[in-house]
A and B are shown apart, each in its own frame.
Chain A
Amino acid sequence: MATEVIMPKQGLQMTEGTIISWLAKEGEAVEEGKPLFEMETDKLTIEIAAPVSGTLLKIIRPEGDVVPITELIAVIGNDGEDISDILAKAGGGAAPTQASAEPAASPEASEPAGSAGAEAPATAAPAGAPAPARSPGERTFSSPRARMRADESGVDLDGVAGSGPDGLVIERDVLAAAESAPKATPLAKRAAEAEGVDLAGIAGSGPRGKIYQRDLAQAGRSAAAGAVAAPEDRLVKLSGMRRIIAERMRDSLDSAAQAVHRVDVDMSEAVRLRTSLKAAEIPVSFNDLILKTVARALRSHPRMNSRFTDEGILEVGEVNVGMAVAVDEGLLVPVIRNADQLNLGGIRSESRRLAEAARSNRLAPEELQGGTFSVSNLGMYELDSFTAIINSPESGILAVGAVKEKAVVVDGTIVARPMCSLSLTYDHRLIDGAPAADFLRTVKALLENPYRLL
């Protein structure tokens, strides 16, 4: 019985690995536990041992190939063993998998013949298959049935992790995503869409937490309404999250040399862009625009995207932007990976997905790691400006205030403009005042000319 060798997942954040070198040739004997190949991830280079002893019958992915985790890369077995089934599977996508499982079927059998056939791609996938995550910006491949379900349930396919072959998004992925989406009445969904409100941030007052229209209004008000003052002291036991936040905040202030720059940004063009996108039924929030802007600016200011290590300053290749999300009794900072490679729509769907996952406590551990820089937006609380503490070991954090009409002087005249105040907290160990100011100037310039983001 031949053994399939797959690209192993090394670490939570790994989505793919590069095969650096094969340490055995085809036809050579390999021994269980002895190095078989060398690979590299975004984090490390590592030798991987052979899972079994036997003959390396076939190397499917050559050196230099970048291979998503769990994908077949080689076959180990006995000399002369017939591995054509495995090779056939490795050669194509879902359809050959099916064909090989039913060798007697006519060639037409792999074509969807009716509604039952159309269902096949979904049911053919192994139920327990691990979900290979797509790297952000990558095109989403989905089955026709998944697209139909997505249409029905209003699920954004870009935000769905595929569990099918090659990360194909299949029906059950969409159903699961729809299941985990916030429950809202049809009217509340409509109203939220019309107002560009993210349902993920709203507490439902209906049965089983269902969101009703009144909750949208309530959500708008609750920001302004103060909490009822309790006359007595109340001791709140530290939750795990609270304890971690406490430690991380203290550590951050203890280790990083935190300094703050502040700048006011004229959001007139951003408002305009947002309005026109909204008219085109692409509801993009100011926060989405800022996330996109920061990602773009980080790409051109690598020092702002770095990390202080004992060996030196590590300028991180990926631009992974954290977004602070307030959750019950705490704060989470899920990370938009490779945010610089996402377009606005991608940022929008990813930020919504992460915010919802954060609030419903469904973030995968790797979705909380690997950030290089974070954005904290308290604009909905109508703050003019505030400073944030760096989410260690990141290099900086941008604190975003409310977009408000303010009197500003333009060409010698006082005019009202929608202004937004940005405060950049940066680690002075990594970057000095002038380059940090330059970064902030880039952010300001992009936000004032947001069409450059498109």
Chain B
Amino acid sequence: MSETYDLVVIGAGPGGYEAAIRAAQYGLKTAVVEKGELGGTCLNRGCIPTKALLHAGETLAHIKDASQLGIEVAEPRVDLKSLYKYKDKVVRRLRNGVKGLLKARGVEVIQAEGRLSGANAVETVMNDGTRQTLAARNIILATGSRPAVPPIPGLEEAGYWTSRNMLEDNPELPGSITIIGGGVIGVESATILSDLGVQVTIVEMMDQLLPRMDADVAEVLRKELERAGVGVKLGVKVARVDRSDGGKVCRIETQAGEESLAADEVMVAVGRAAVVGDDVAEAGVALDRGRIVVDENLRTSLDGVYAIGDATGTWWLAHAASAEALAAVDHIAGRPNHTNRSVMPSCVYTRPEIASVGLTEDEATSSGRRCHVGRFPLAGNSKSVIVGETSGFVKVVCDADSGEILGTHIVGPRATDLVAQLATAMSGELTAEEVSAAIHPHPTVSESVMEAFHDIEGLSIHKL
């Protein structure tokens, strides 16, 4: 133990590396300990590579539709090897970017497994077994998550895919796949695999896809997925999984009764589970159902030890981890942090894209408040017509008395970019009137947001 660090971060995902950089920006002596690749799940096995593949799928779809624009293209063909090379190039470039940023900011990157060994000590275990103990005034646990696997009988024996298999180098794509789980990971995986020619069926236990999203949003997605040839089975429980002549059979329970669903492969996409080592509990950090318990300042039960991101299991979102990272470092540095982390946008990169922030219409109305809902279908939006994606809509849910924007839901082109302005409005506590009064440029999809707010008063121009 030579010097004491102001901060040691365990895990260099989007939470951990941002915490380290911000701490270094504040002049804290900082180290980040990572046993795998910089960038964590998000950059290496999550957000980034999936979006690269989805971008390819979208491009492919555009090419297939090009004739409608008067562009004649020969039948496009996907070279899987080149596609994955492109994906890897994107990942590598961003990973090098993170490495460069950490270095430039003077963050010490320690390639090792980091283990918490007390309130002020992190033990590092290198690949060759070398152990070292770092003394730290503050520690941030940013150990992330892994795919959660439900205890379905037969599943372990039959073997299964997770999103990770889909992203591995040169995967052998199955001809058909059953995806267990219709959440964000399930529907994005379905989109990728379907684009790549895999026959996909999604089975979801709840009555809608994206169970945490607004029901109307989920319904648009269901129709679009089915239009693209993806099978969607809702309200279905997978009773067991078995291996059968080269494939996998899911026995599913529907309201009508039991049936069998055969496919070449089965993918588990029911969510994620926090990665929390035994060291954490042994050091005296309180856990709740395998997740690290933190207070509003991201402090664990152990003084000087913080936890952020998926390890706390609050949001399972990269940008949530990043926001928590900056809040934790602000708390360590004694600086104010003004981020309202309850205004948390969430994005789904399907076609059409889906984004939302705040309460769904059901949540808002069942909370007992008097709500106003404004809707605007993209069929009335010129830019959406131009790009040929008119199946979506914008829905805004506001408190009838205060005008508070309770929730906004967007299905449509670049919905994931559009939601940022609504997150800004909500986090700045603009009311419906202010957003309604802001000029939105023409022709853009963003006009639909304004029109949805106008619709609250029944004054949307391009809607009947």
Contacts and interface: CB of A to CB of B under 8 A. Distances in A.
Interface of A: 185-188, 190-191, 194, 205-207, 212-213
B108 interface: no
Given A185-B429, A187-B404, A187-B431, 10 more contacts: A186-B429, A186-B433, A187-B429, A188-B429, A190-B404, A190-B431, A194-B401, A205-B338, A207-B338, A213-B429
Contacts of B402: 187, 190-191, 194
Nearest to A213: B429
Contacts of B340: 212
For the complex of A and B, 9 pairs with smallest distance between CB atoms: A185-B429, A187-B429, A190-B402, A186-B431, A207-B338, A187-B404, A186-B434, A187-B431, A186-B430
B191 to A, nearest CB: 36
Which of under 10, 10 to 19, 20 to 34, or 35 or more describes the interface residues of B? 10 to 19
A414 B434 CA distance: 51
B211 interface: no
A185 B338 CA distance: 13
Nearest to A184: B429
B430 A206 contact: no
Q: Which of A185, A187, A194, A212 is packed against the most chain B CB atoms within 10 Å? A: A187
Contacts of A185: 428-430
B403 A190 contact: yes
28 contacts: A185-B428, A185-B429, A185-B430, A186-B403, A186-B429, A186-B430, A186-B431, A186-B433, A186-B434, A187-B402, A187-B403, A187-B404, A187-B429, A187-B430, A187-B431, A190-B402, A190-B403, A190-B404, A190-B431, A191-B402, A194-B401, A194-B402, A205-B338, A206-B338, A207-B338, A212-B429, A213-B404, A213-B429
A152 to B, nearest CB: 12
Interface in B388-439: 401-404, 428-431, 433-434
A180 B402 CA distance: 24
Interface of B: 338, 340, 401-404, 428-431, 433-434
Contacts of B433: 186
Contacts of B404: 187, 190, 213
A290 to B, nearest CB: 29
A191 to B, nearest CB: 6
Contacts of B401: 194
B401 to A, nearest CB: 7
Contacts of B338: 205-207
Contacts of B431: 186-187, 190
Contacts of B434: 186
Contacts, number: 30
Contacts of A206: 338
A33 B195 CA distance: 97
A213 B401 CA distance: 14
A246 to B, nearest CB: 32
Nearest to B403: A190
B336 to A, nearest CB: 8
Nearest to A193: B402
Contacts of A191: 402
A71 to B, nearest CB: 43
Contacts of A186: 403, 429-431, 433-434
A190 B430 CA distance: 10
Q: Which of B401, B428, B429 is packed against the most chain A CB atoms within 10 Å? A: B429
Nearest to A208: B338
B464 to A, nearest CB: 30
A18 B403 CA distance: 53
A185 B431 CA distance: 9
A186 B402 CA distance: 10
B15 to A, nearest CB: 23
A194 B428 CA distance: 19
Q: Which of A186, A188, A206, A213 is packed against the most chain B CB atoms within 10 Å? A: A186
A206 B404 CA distance: 17
Nearest to A206: B338
A213 B403 CA distance: 13
Nearest to A185: B429
B403 to A, nearest CB: 6
Contacts of B430: 185-187
A188 B428 CA distance: 10
Contacts of B429: 185-188, 212-213
Nearest to B404: A187
Contacts of A194: 401-402
A342 B299 CA distance: 53
A207 B340 CA distance: 12
B374 to A, nearest CB: 17
A206 B402 CA distance: 20
B430 to A, nearest CB: 5
A62 B353 CA distance: 80
B398 to A, nearest CB: 11
A353 to B, nearest CB: 25
A194 B402 CA distance: 8
A205 B429 CA distance: 13
A225 B429 CA distance: 26
B397 to A, nearest CB: 15
A206 B403 CA distance: 20
Contacts of A207: 338
A205 B338 CA distance: 8
A212 B404 CA distance: 12
A213 B406 CA distance: 13
Contacts of A205: 338
Contacts of A187: 402-404, 429-431
A191 B340 CA distance: 18
B30 to A, nearest CB: 25
Nearest to B428: A185
A59 B430 CA distance: 58
Contacts of A213: 404, 429
A183 to B, nearest CB: 12
Contacts of B428: 185
B317 to A, nearest CB: 22
A207 B434 CA distance: 19
A275 to B, nearest CB: 17
A186 B436 CA distance: 13
A434 B74 CA distance: 106
Q: Which of B401, B431, B433, B434 is packed against the most chain A CB atoms within 10 Å? A: B431
A190 B431 CA distance: 9
Nearest to B433: A186
A188 B402 CA distance: 9
Nearest to B402: A190
Nearest to A187: B429
Nearest to B431: A186
A187 B434 CA distance: 10
A17 B401 CA distance: 50
A190 B400 CA distance: 12
A188 B429 CA distance: 7
Nearest to A191: B402
A187 B340 CA distance: 14
B399 to A, nearest CB: 9
B222 to A, nearest CB: 34
B357 to A, nearest CB: 15
A334 B403 CA distance: 36
A154 to B, nearest CB: 13
Q: Which of A188, A190, A213 is packed against the most chain B CB atoms within 10 Å? A: A190
B441 to A, nearest CB: 22
A389 to B, nearest CB: 37
A190 B403 CA distance: 8
